[in-house]
Amino acid sequence: MPLLGDGEVFDHYAWKISAGAIHSEVVRLHLLPVYPAFLSAIYKMAGHAPSAVIWTQILLGSLTCAICCKLGCLLWNQKTGLIAGTIAALHGLFIFFDTLFLRPSLINFLEALLFYLLLLFIRSPKLLTCAIAGACLGTLVLLRSSFWFTVPGVILWILISLPRLYPLPLQGERQGEGVPNRRTSVITLAVFCLSLILTYQGWLFWFDRAIPKQDFLLTETGLQFYLGNNPTASGTYVPQREFPPTIYGQSVIAQKYVEKKTKRPVSLKEFDQYWFKRGKNFVLQNPGRWLVLELKKLFLIFNAYEIPGSLDYDVLRRRSAVVSLPLFSFGLIAPLGFVGIFLTRGRWDAGATLLVTFSGLYALTLLISYVQMDLRLPLQLPLILFASFALVRIQELFSSGKKWELIHAAVLFLFFWSVVNSPTHLPRAQFQKNAEALLIRKTKSTSTSQSRTMFDKKN
């Protein structure tokens, strides 16, 4: 299969970085450092071998499933952990992204590792564990800027949850007293934040050395806000007349459009502020329309349909012998996850609070911008964990003969299932038609390129 979507861009720049051939080039397209660094490290060891990247991501996907199993055990019990690991291993979208040159595979792994380290810390308090958790979150925010929204939630969770559960044994304090311990909170928070900041700055230092001539913003907050809040916004990504929907030229052409409108050169900061202001004006001038748009986004966030970006899951899964199998999907995981959240109400603890807080803050970024299958993916891991608990708890209710609670769970599942699997009225046929056309063009282009390479070798 040819490199699709942003994968072609990542491959191009990662190979140049690994070969040291980009120092004199001015790079204007939007890139975040972690994934190109991940690819370039593999290319340095294995040469320009895309298959090495795919196998590495498959390994990370397997580790993610193992961590899901451990998370279920830490949160509830061993049976929940086994079910969580199985669902993650048989989740079609997880398998799908593991085989593509895109960030979700690495994001999934680091998100699962972050949850595991934080939960492990409250059970076995070691500052090294907390420091590694901070490094994970510092890396995640440079894989996808949306994770910045989760940072305050994680910090608040550390301040509230950790000292009440397992105070650190500092200066003669007895572990497990279950009373507030502000000194422990401060030390833990300081280590976590310092690790996050140092990791973030370390990635930027590497990026500045790898690509010395950068002419782009790390976070295009204003542009992304406008894409989700404008007169043509539909809750999903909608190409704008002002600039094309491509990572190669979107930001560059959008900046040229701003310069044409303002009739003067603009800085990168001014360019981003321009689009944020246009998005804000749309919200202020059309509050009723914007509220309807936000409700639609909320519906799409928790709908079973995997909304395509440059790639269409429905089209590509038909071409895969594995992903085309009847695997787990959001349409089943989300209703079970919501039932699991309801069933944990009597066992609400630090672990469940972390999952819900993290998910809620991340979902907020989708409401601010737009909904897409790869952007929504980080919400699926917490839902898998809650869905696993729901399956175990329902089996316990059935075995103990608690009919009313079992009926409540069944009614909730049917309600959530009907909402999650209701039609979106999005132009799915058009999405698939566009994806098929793009795939045909890319396949032909790849075949032509390979034929030319073989001809050059023979001559």
Which residues have C-beta within 8 Å of that of residue 454, sequence separation ≥ 6?
none
- As a dihedral over the C-alpha atoms of residue 312, residue 317, residue 319, residue 325, rounded to 10 degrees, the angle is -170
φ and ψ at residue 443, rounded to 5 degrees = -65, -45
Return the sign of the alpha-carbon dihedral for residues 363, 365, 367, 371.
negative
Selected residue with higher pLDDT from 455 and 157? 157
What mean pLDDT value characterizes the chain?
88
Check whether residue 333 and residue 443 sit in a common domain: yes
Q: Which of 297, 379, 278 is nearest to 330 (CA)?
A: 379
Check whether residue 17 and residue 73 sit in a common domain: yes
Per DSSP, helices labelled H in 286-427 are 287-301, 313-317, 330-343, 350-368, 373-376, 380-400, 403-420
Residue 291 belongs to a domain: no
Domain count, the chain: 2
Q: Given 280, 295, 317, which residue is the final one in a domain?
A: 280
pLDDT band at 159 (very low <50, low <70, confident <90, very high): confident
Whole-number pLDDT of residue 372: 95
Whole-number pLDDT of residue 271: 87
Residue 261 belongs to a domain: yes
Check whether residue 106 and residue 235 sit in a common domain: no
**Rounded distance, CA 91 to CA 384, Å?**
9
**Rounded distance, CA 298 to CA 303, Å?**
9
Residue 289 belongs to a domain: no
Check whether residue 46 and residue 195 sit in a common domain: yes
Residue 214 belongs to a domain: yes
Check whether residue 271 and residue 319 sit in a common domain: no
Residue with tokens 């310069």: 259
Check whether residue 267 and residue 314 sit in a common domain: no
Whole-number pLDDT of residue 445: 63
Check whether residue 400 and residue 424 sit in a common domain: yes
Residue 321 belongs to a domain: yes
Read off the DSSP letter of residue 173: P
Whole-number pLDDT of residue 162: 63
Residue 459 belongs to a domain: no
Q: Which of 353, 383, 341, 343 is nearest to 122 (CA)?
A: 353
pLDDT band at 249 (very low <50, low <70, confident <90, very high): low
Residue 98 belongs to a domain: yes
Whole-number pLDDT of residue 386: 97
Domain containing residue 337: 7-219+304-451
Q: Which of 68-77, 106-115, 233-242 has the lowest mean pLDDT?
A: 233-242
Check whether residue 380 and residue 319 sit in a common domain: yes
Check whether residue 271 and residue 310 sit in a common domain: no
**Rounded distance, CA 67 to CA 50, Å?**
26
Check whether residue 203 and residue 234 sit in a common domain: no
- In this predicted structure, the answer to whether residue 419 has a pLDDT above a threshold of 50 is yes
- In this predicted structure, the answer to whether residue 374 has a pLDDT above a threshold of 60 is yes
Helix pair 182-210, 150-165: axis angle to 10 deg: 150
**Rounded distance, CA 357 to CA 232, Å?**
31
State the DSSP H helix or E strand holding residue 45, giving kind and residue range, or none if neither.
Answer: helix 34-46
Check whether residue 257 and residue 126 sit in a common domain: no
Residue 211 belongs to a domain: yes
End-to-end CA distance of the chain: 27
Q: CA-based angle 147:354:397, to the nearest 5?
A: 135
Q: Which of 91, 122, 62, 63 is nearest to 388 (CA)?
A: 91
Check whether residue 237 and residue 345 sit in a common domain: no
